[in-house]
């Protein structure tokens, strides 16, 4: 029998059950890492923050109430960790090592080589897709933290406006307004590339 997220979290809360916690980690490690990366924009920092979020989830298990969805509880923790990290990142200079640059370039080369070996992909099509993805990522990173959070949670993570409202503790109308503003802003950022055939 497969237990729901809420049932697993209750086992963690009531029994300090490490296997229930491990099940939650396995279910959410990839979606959570993707959320953090989209919000922060740095792979290494995103991995560290994802671990911090799971540690905070374990430590705050006794405060969990199964009134709302488990994802609401998890993404509330994630939002708080990301906003704190973003504030710290803004106040400190970013230094990138040469080995980090080399390793990220090597990974990109492998992904490009795999994509090019696919007969359905042409090099031009793949390059255009990669460029557009980079432009979208850059445009999303230019949104204010409030607008970026709403956009990522609704578009990438597929959460409902109600769930997002619970996570960020605001009315559903505010979520809708922020999402609308984010979409309009992204359209404005991306309009020159869309008109130019991208």
Q: What is the DSSP letter of 62?
A: G
**Residue-level pLDDT at 134:** 81
Contact in structure between 74 and 28 (CB atoms under 8 Å):
yes
Q: Is 20 helix (H, G, I), strand (E, B) or coil?
A: helix
Please, which pLDDT band fits residue 54 given cuts at 50, 70 and 90?
very high
**Residue-level pLDDT at 68:** 80
Q: Is the dihedral angle over the CA atoms 170, 176, 181, 185 positive or is it negative?
A: positive
**Residue-level pLDDT at 19:** 96
Please, which pLDDT band fits residue 41 given cuts at 50, 70 and 90?
confident
**Residue-level pLDDT at 107:** 47
Stretch 101-115: mean pLDDT, rounded? 45
For residue 63, what are the contacts with CB-CB under 8 A and spacing of at least 6?
Answer: none
**Which helix (H) or strand (E) is 107 found in, with range?**
helix 98-116
**Residue-level pLDDT at 118:** 54
Which among 70, 40, 74, 72 has a CA at the least distance from the CA of 55? 74
Buried b (16+ CB within 10 A) or exposed e, 144-176: eebbbbbbbbbeebebebebbbbbbeeeeebbe
Stretch 52-74: mean pLDDT, rounded? 93
Q: How far is CA 75 from the centre of its chain?
A: 10
Stretch 33-41: mean pLDDT, rounded? 92
pLDDT digits 0-9 by tens, 75-84: 999 999 999 9
For residue 52, what are the contacts with CB-CB under 8 A and spacing of at least 6?
Answer: 81
Distance in angstroms (rounded) separating the CA atoms of residues 142 and 136: 10
Distance in angstroms (rounded) separating the CA atoms of residues 40 and 63: 27
Is the confidence at residue 91, as pLDDT, over 80?
Answer: no
**Residue-level pLDDT at 17:** 94
Q: What pTM was estimated for this model as a whole?
A: 0.70
Distance in angstroms (rounded) separating the CA atoms of residues 78 and 33: 10
Stretch 122-130: mean pLDDT, rounded? 66
Residue predicted with more confidence, 153 or 123: 153
Average the pLDDT over each of 47-51, 74-78, 181-185, 189-193 and give the range with the smallest value. 189-193
Stretch 156-165: mean pLDDT, rounded? 92
Residue predicted with more confidence, 172 or 116: 172
**Residue-level pLDDT at 131:** 78
Is the confidence at residue 74, as pLDDT, over 50?
Answer: yes
Contact in structure between 132 and 193 (CB atoms under 8 Å):
yes
Domains of the chain and any CATH numbers: 5-90 (1.10.1740.10), 125-191 (1.10.10.10)
């Amino acid at each position: 029998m497969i237990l729901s997220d809420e049932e697993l979290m209750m086992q963690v809360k009531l029994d300090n059950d490490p296997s229930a916690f491990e099940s939650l980690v396995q279910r959410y490690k990839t979606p959570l890492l993707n959320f953090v990366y989209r919000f922060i924009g740095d792979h290494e920092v995103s991995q560290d923050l994802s671990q911090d979020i799971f540690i905070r989830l374990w430590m705050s298990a006794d405060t969990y109430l199964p009134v709302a969805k488990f994802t609401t509880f998890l993404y509330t923790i994630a939002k708080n960790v990301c906003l704190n990290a973003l504030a710290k990142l803004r106040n400190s200079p970013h230094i990138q090592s040469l080995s980090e640059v080399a390793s990220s370039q090597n990974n990109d080369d492998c992904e490009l080589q795999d994509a090019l070996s696919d007969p359905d992909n042409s090099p031009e099509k793949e390059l255009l897709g990669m460029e557009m993805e980079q432009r979208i990522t850059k445009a999303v990173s230019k949104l204010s933290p409030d607008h970026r959070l709403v956009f990522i949670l609704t578009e990438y993570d597929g959460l409902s406006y109600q769930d997002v409202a619970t996570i960020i503790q605001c009315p559903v109308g505010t979520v809708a307004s922020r999402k609308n503003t984010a979409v309009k802003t992204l359209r404005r950022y991306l309009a020159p590339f869309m008109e130019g055939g991208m």
